[in-house]
Structure 1
Amino acid sequence: MIEAQAPGKLYIAGEYAVVETGYPAILVALDQFIRVRVSPSHGYGTIYSQQYKENSIHWRRKGNQIVLDNRDNPFHYILSAIRITEEYVQLQTQRPLTTYDLTIDSDLDSVDGKKYGLGSSAAVTVATIKALCQFYNLAITKNTLFKLAAIAHFEVQGNGSLGDIAASVYGGWIAYHSFDREWLLVARQQLSLEQLLATDWPQLAIEQLTPPPALKLVIGWTGSPASTSRLVDAVSLIKAQKHQGYQAFLTASKDCIHQLITGFKNHDLAQIKAGIRANRQILSNLAQISQVDIETPLLTRLIDIAEAVEAAAKTSGAGGGDCGIAITDSDTTATTIRNQWQAHGIEPLALQVHTITE
């Protein structure tokens, strides 16, 4: 049996702007994973997830195509990952495609079904591709893994920056500059997969960052899941209506993230904390011009509690619920924040940054 895993992610700064080509964000990979296991089967293959017991899929081969026996399924990202990986396998090897059982298990949601917004669709896409490449005895670089997973994920979701894919592939702290997704749509039609993987993608840049040793990342969940796709779509409506305000937001976000990246490179925790606070204000300005509820009342409380003990805090990701983060240099302060959050109905998440070494 083959097993591969990919970590979840959390946005630190640069949300919303990162969906525009070339704009940066900072993310972390977390030590909660989606695991994919692949084992040979005969005749029919299955796709099974502990989280979707009642919706397992049975499939068979018709030539090199996968044919499903189930009409409705929640496994779109997994199936897209299988399709793109098998296209890649056929480019790289003469080995025939076979049937197999694929089992998914996730740490990214709680045992009682709570969804924390940690990028499960990206992680399952990455883990599926890694597992299948191992199954077919194919070595794969992180760059190729990112591109395959980005294609598979984007063909399902149709929007977003794909920064969560980068976090699941590279691990640790990363600075991510988003590539031109409109270009990808055209290139996918005009270039072979081999050409697409060998091509430099416009504006794409992924850089791993090393945080200052004293930096403590504290994560809290507000108990209210949010739909990133819907929030991003809502903000995108203001591009034409309030072009000047939106452009000002993009410029401010880019400048802020570049200052944050400099803070990481200089191991300057004070500069990082200032950047976190500045990014919160930039997102607040975006919320005002877009009328999108990015920072909910409970997220504001989460931030206020952290700021009261001199930590820097903000929403994480699209906001509208889900998680907030705080950055401090003190274990004592971090404990105080977690205790105060819990007292105010915010769930501290016992998560650590995950580094990928292979």
Structure 2
Amino acid sequence: MITEKAPGKLYIAGEYAVLEQDCPAVLVAVNQFVRVSISNSKNGRGLIHSKQYSQDSIHWVRKGDKMVIDNRDNPFEYILSAIAYTERYCLEQGIKLRVYDLHVNSDLDSADGKKFGLGSSAAVTVATVKAILRFYQMPTSNELIYKLSAISHYSVQGNGSAGDIAASVYGGWIAYQTFDKAWLKQELAHKTLAGVVQEAWPGLKIQLLNPPKALRLLIGWSQQPASTSQLVDETNANKEQLEAEYQKFLKRSRRCVIKMIQGFEAQNIKLIQEQIRINRRLLSHFAKINHIAIEIPRLTKLIDIAERHHGAAKTSGAGNGDCGIVIADETTDVAALETEWRNNGILPLDFHVHSLISEK
């Protein structure tokens, strides 16, 4: 049996703007994982099973090069998309496809099944791509895994930047800029998948960041799950009416995140914290003009408590629930901060940054 894993992620800054080209974001991979195990099927019928969806295992058969699913309604769209594109890539390399069992297990939800907002769909996509490439003994690289995963994920979600895919593939702290979606769609329609993944993707930038030694990342969970796709759809619908305001937001977000990246490069925690606070204000204005809730009351409470304890805090990701993040330093009284969070219905998450270097 082969097992591969991919970490969850948190956005640190640059949310919403990162959907556009040339607008960077900063993300971090956390040490909570989706694990995908793959093994040869013993009876000619394959199985896809998740501990999180134990009542909904999928049975499938191979008809030629097609995977044929027995049941239509299933919660496994991202896994199936990752299988389809990765197998298409393998076929183009002359690989003979086999029947297998796939088992998925995730740390990215709470014990009662609520999502923390750590990018579980991205992580399961990445882990599935890695497992299948290894199952077929294909040469791999982070770039190949990222590109196959980004194509697989985007084909299901239909929006998003694939920044969460990058964090799951590369680990650690990263600065990220998305690729040209229209270009990718055009290329996929006219070229082989292998050809597309070998090309340079216009606009795509992934840069590993080295955090200052005294920097501490604290994570608080609002215990209110949110839907990223729905929030992104709502803001996309408003783009044309708010064009001037939207362009202003993009310009300011870009400037803010570039300064934050400079803070990482200069090992300057104060500069990083300053940009966290600026990004919070930008997102607050963005939410107001789009009539969406990014910073719900419990997240505001989370941030206010963190600021009182000398931490710079904001929402993480699409907002409207999920997590808030705090950039803290040696002046932050972490124990007092977390006690106050708990007293206000906010759950401190004892997660840490996951880097690929720490695995080796």
When normalised by structure 2's length, the TM-score is 0.97
1:279 maps to which residue?
Answer: 279
Aligned residue identity for 1:126: V
Q: Deviations over 1:6-27 (max 9, x none)?
A: 0000000000000112211000
Aligned partner of 2:73 in structure 1 is: 72
4+ runs deviating over 6 angstroms: none
Q: Which residue of 2 aligns with 1:203?
A: 203
Q: How does 1:1-358 map to 2 (within 5 A)?
A: 1-41=1-41, 42-92=43-93, 94-330=94-330, 333-357=333-357
CA contact (8 A) 1:18 1:177 kept: yes
Q: CA deviation at 1:237?
A: 2.3
Cα deviation 1:76-133 (Å, max 9, x = unaligned): 00000001111111223x4411100000000000221121010000000000010111
- Quote the sequence identity (%): 54
CA contact 2:309–2:333 (8 Å) conserved in 1: yes
- DSSP-derived class of the 2:97 partner: coil
Task: For residue 335 of structure 1, report the CA deviation from its aligned partner.
Answer: 2.0
Counterpart-to-counterpart distance in 2, 1:52 and 1:238: 35
Gaps of 5+ in 1: none
**Higher mean C-alpha displacement, 184-193 vs 253-262:** 184-193
Deviates more, 1:58-67 or 1:82-91: 82-91
For 1:355, give the aligned amino acid: S
What TM-score do the two structures reach when normalised by structure 1? 0.98
Q: Quick check: 273-282 or 94-103, which moved more?
A: 94-103
Q: Secondary structure at the match of 1:240?
A: coil
Q: Is the 1:21–1:181 contact (alpha carbons within 8 Å) kept by the matching residues of 2?
A: no
Equivalent AA in structure 2 for residue 230 of structure 1:
Q
Taking only aligned residues, the RMSD between alpha carbons, in angstroms, comes to: 1.1
- Corresponding letter in the other structure for 1:184: L
Q: Give the letter aligned to residue 38 of structure 2.
A: V
Question: Does structure 2 retain, via aligned residues, the 8 Å contact 1:9–1:30?
Answer: yes
Give 1:4 deviation, angstroms.
Answer: 0.2
CA distance in 2, matches of 1:76, 1:240: 31
Rounded to whole Å, the distance in 1 between the matches of 2:102 and 2:323 is 30
- C-alpha deviation, 1:332, in angstroms: 5.5
State the alpha-carbon separation in 2 of the partners of residues 253 and 210 from structure 1. 21
Give the aligned residue type for 2:192: S
How much has 1:216 moved relative to structure 2?
0.4
What's the offset of the Cα at 1:287? 1.2
Gaps of 5+ in 2: none
